[in-house]
Amino acid sequence: PCVVVCALACVQAWAAPPLPRLDADETATVSGLSSGAYMAVQMHVAHSARIKGAAALAGGPYYCAQGSLWSAYYNCMKPGTFMPLPSLATLKSATDRLAAAGRIDPTANLASARAWLFTGTRDDTVAREVVEELQAFYAAYKTATVLVRDRPAGHAMITEDAGNKDCGATRSPFINDCDYDAAGALLQHLAGPLAPPAASPAGRLLGFDQTPFGGYEISMDDEGYVYIPKDCETQRCRVHVAFHGCRQGRSAVNDTFVREAGYNRWADTNRIIVLYPQAIARWWWVYNPSGCWDWWGYTGAQYHTKEGAQVRAVMAMLSRLGERPK
C-alpha cells in the first residue's frame, strides 16, 4: 500500500497544473497549419455560433477527406486527374445536411464570420488549389475571406524572424522566417483592429493538464499550453486557439511552436488568451504516426461535427477558460 500511495503522490507531483478559469469571453477565433488548419476549419464550421473566425495555412475545405485517410493524403493534399478534389457542390451539400440535422451549428452564422487563408508558392505538401477551394467554400457562405498566395514559402508557419532561415523550406520545426508576420496578419483580420505587438512576450506561458479533456485515447498529449497576458489574469479577455501541424506538437518539437509561431507578442497588447492544444502520435488502435489533428476520421465517423472527440475536447477547454475563478 505504501508503494502505491508513494507512486500516486509522485504522479500528482509531476502532473501539470489544471487549465485555469479566467472568465474569458465565450466566443473565440481559431487558426492552424496543415492538419491544424483543417482542424481550425472544422472547429469553425461545427461551432460557428461561438467560433467567430478561422485562419488556415495550407489547409482545405471542410469535410474534404470525407472520412478517408486515402482521400486526405491524395485528394485533399495533392489532387490530380485521377484523385481530384471533392467538388464544392458535394462538400457544401454535405455541410448543409449536417446543419439541418443539428450536428453542426447553422451555416447562416458563417455570413458574419471572417476567414484568413495562406498558401506558399513553394509549398509542395498541400497544393494551392486545395486552399483556393477552401476560399470558394467560405465564399459560398458569404464569409469575409482573405487569401494570401504571393509569398515564396514552404509548408510551415510563416513568421517575421523566427524558425528556418530558408523561407521555402519544408522541415522541422515547420516554422519559417519569411519576413512576414502571419500570426499578426491573421489576428488582425479575425479580431482586429489591434494594437501593435509587444517587443517580446511578457505574459505567462503555462503548461496545463490536458487529460481531463481527452488524452492519449484520442491522440491528444497529456499536456497542452496556454499563453496568458498579464492583463488577462485580472480582466476579461478574448481567446484564440492555435493548432500546430503534424510533427509540430510538444512531443515532436517541445514548445517551439508555442513560443515561436508569433501569436504571443500580439496577445500581450490586445488582451488575447492563446490556447495551444496538443496532439500526439499514435500507432495502435488509433493510427496517427505524425501527431496530426484528426481531419480524416481516426477518432470516429463524427470527427468533423460537434460530437467529434477532439472538437469536444477543445470546446471543453474553451468552456473552462470562460468559467469564473473560484
Residues that are catalytic? 34, 123, 155
Partnered with residue 208 across adjacent β-strands are 224
Asked whether 309 and 218 are in contact (CB, 8 A), the reply is: yes
Task: For residue 143, give every residue at least 6 positions away whose Cβ sits within 8 Å of its Cβ, in sequence order, or none.
Answer: 110, 111, 113, 114, 115
Closest CA to 39 of 319, 296, 220, 260: 296
- CA 289 vs. chain centroid, Å, equals 18
Q: 223: which residues sit within 8 A by CB, 6+ positions away?
A: 16, 207, 208, 209, 210, 250, 278
CA distance 276 to 255: 10
Q: Is 228 helix (H, G, I), strand (E, B) or coil?
A: strand
Distance CA 303, CA 210 (A): 19
**Cell numbers describing residue 237:** 479577455
C-alpha cell at 263: 501569436
Strands 238-243 and 272-276, by their bridges, are parallel
